[in-house]
């Protein structure tokens, strides 16, 4: 019988498991810090080493594409034989790669260092998501905190990197590895708590319903995540520029709107976890993606003084389903938790980064407003793709669309 996760878990967690849960959250923030560090570092590397646009894009590709493709492979590997040590090892590699990126003048060595960091990120996510689900004991709120932590880490990178590089130059990048190395040690000590038997309640794999893997809904869910990723990357990439054009304002105004977009996204993710304790995750996803349509319309076409509201509205709607994607994917593939985590956290999400240049090309040929209007098609696609999905842990037990 499937374990129901639509209700908050009543299983008491010992202090070690509770501590491990928060260590995983902090570790996720630190790990995703190194994903955000790559775009933050590129302007400094380009200035110091005279990279052209193609060379700079190659550095980004080393981190994002390689990491995203490797995550499902690590997931499949750990489905055969769980390797919890990949969590601290992945953290350490993610930090060491970025730390080495500023040393020496060779483009190849820099590229390999950033690729090493990407591999560390890829190694970290599948096992960390599995461990976070175990530590959450079926709590969607706990999983939403895990997802939010990654967002916070990514957002913190543009603050930390200039602090280090502007004071010591690109040769100071080894200092950026310190948070990863510290958290790798802390995580290594905390992980054994997740492997100890509990006095009561479900085993460490709690949260995923028993039964056969359901590949068809999982692939449909992956398509939903891709649509969401295109919207999120499209807005975050061009929001500052769009704000400057729309408001005839300077870059600081654009950065303030972008910060609002990220902050509202954090609130949306936490709200999604709360909602999932009471309602079908599929229904929440469908309503959230429907809500992105008016949010985008306000952002793109409403009078200028409504732009900030449109950005916040869209961010909340986009991020309410964020942590639910991971848990739902794990529930569709209960026998391949690592694969599900690798795809939902890596491969499917990376599509947005690949689509952003296409949006930019369209903006060059038309206008930025017209290019961003195409994101409405992605919202519609996300809504339509949820039709026919079911929530395996819906309260009424039905395997029907919308729960």
pLDDT in tens, 200-219: 334 344 444 557 889 999 99
pLDDT at 2: 36
In the chain, which residues fall in CATH 1.20.1250.20?
A: 15-195, 215-386
What is the fold, at CATH topology level, of the domain defined by 15-195?
Growth Hormone; Chain: A; (1.20.1250)
pLDDT at 203: 39
pLDDT at 301: 95
pLDDT at 302: 92
What is the reported pTM? 0.74
pLDDT at 71: 80
Domain boundaries 215-386, corresponding CATH code: 1.20.1250.20
The secondary structure element, H or E, covering residue 266 is helix 251-276
* Token pair 């996720």: residue: 28
pLDDT at 292: 97
Q: Which residues contact 206 (CB under 8 A, 6 or more apart)?
A: 3, 9, 11, 133, 134, 136, 137, 138
pLDDT at 194: 60
Contact between residue 376 and residue 317 where contact means Cβ atoms under 8 Å apart: no
Query: In which region does residue 169 sit, left (phi positive, over 0), alpha (psi from -120 to 50) or beta (all else)?
Result: left
The stretches in the chain having pLDDT less than 50 are 1-13, 197-208, 396-403
pLDDT at 14: 59
Contact between residue 160 and residue 29 where contact means Cβ atoms under 8 Å apart: no
Contact between residue 385 and residue 220 where contact means Cβ atoms under 8 Å apart: yes
Contact between residue 135 and residue 11 where contact means Cβ atoms under 8 Å apart: no
Token pair belonging to 47: 């200035």
pLDDT at 49: 87
pLDDT at 398: 40
pLDDT at 237: 76
pLDDT at 221: 95
Q: What φ, ψ does residue 51 adopt, rounded to 5°?
A: -70, 145
Q: Which residues contact 80 (CB under 8 A, 6 or more apart)?
A: none
């Amino acid at each position: 019988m499937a374990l129901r996760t639509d209700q908050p878990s009543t299983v008491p967690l010992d202090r070690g498991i509770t501590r491990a849960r928060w260590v995983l959250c902090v570790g996720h923030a630190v790990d995703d810090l190194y994903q955000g560090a790559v775009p933050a570092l590129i302007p400094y590397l380009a200035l110091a080493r005279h990279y052209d646009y193609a060379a700079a894009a190659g550095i980004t590709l080393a981190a994002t594409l390689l990491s995203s493709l490797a995550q499902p492979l690590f997931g499949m590997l750990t489905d055969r034989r769980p390797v919890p040590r990949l969590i601290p090892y992945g953290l350490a590699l993610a930090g060491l790669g970025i730390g080495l990126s500023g040393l020496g003048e060779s483009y190849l060595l820099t590229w390999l260092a950033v690729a090493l960091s990407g591999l560390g990120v890829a190694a970290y996510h599948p096992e960390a998501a599995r461990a976070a689900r175990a530590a959450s004991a079926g709590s969607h709120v706990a999983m939403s905190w895990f997802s939010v932590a990654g967002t916070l880490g990514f957002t913190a990178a543009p603050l930390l990197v200039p602090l280090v590089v502007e004071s010591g130059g690109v040769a100071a990048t080894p200092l950026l590895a310190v948070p990863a190395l510290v958290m790798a040690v802390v995580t290594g000590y905390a992980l054994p708590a997740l492997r100890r038997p509990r006095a009561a309640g479900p085993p460490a794999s709690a949260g995923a319903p028993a039964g056969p893997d359901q590949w068809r809904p999982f692939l449909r869910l992956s398509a939903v995540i891709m649509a969401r990723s295109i919207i999120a990357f499209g807005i975050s990439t061009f929001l500052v520029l769009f704000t400057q054009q729309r408001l005839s304002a300077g870059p600081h105004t654009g950065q303030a709107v972008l910060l609002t977009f990220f902050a509202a996204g954090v609130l949306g993710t936490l709200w999604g976890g709360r909602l999932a304790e009471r309602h079908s995750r599929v229904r929440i996803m469908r309503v959230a993606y429907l809500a992105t349509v008016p949010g985008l319309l306000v952002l793109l076409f409403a009078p200028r003084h409504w732009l900030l509201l449109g950005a916040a509205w869209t961010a909340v709607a986009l991020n309410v389903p964020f942590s639910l994607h991971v848990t739902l994917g794990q529930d569709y593939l209960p026998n391949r938790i690592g694969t599900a985590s690798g795809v939902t956290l890596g491969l499917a999400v990376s599509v947005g980064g690949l689509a952003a240049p296409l949006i930019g090309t369209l903006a060059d040929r038309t206008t930025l407003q017209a290019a961003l209007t195409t994101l409405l098609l992605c919202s519609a696609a996300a809504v339509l793709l949820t039709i026919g999905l079911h929530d395996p842990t819906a309260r009424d037990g039905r395997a029907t669309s919308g729960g």
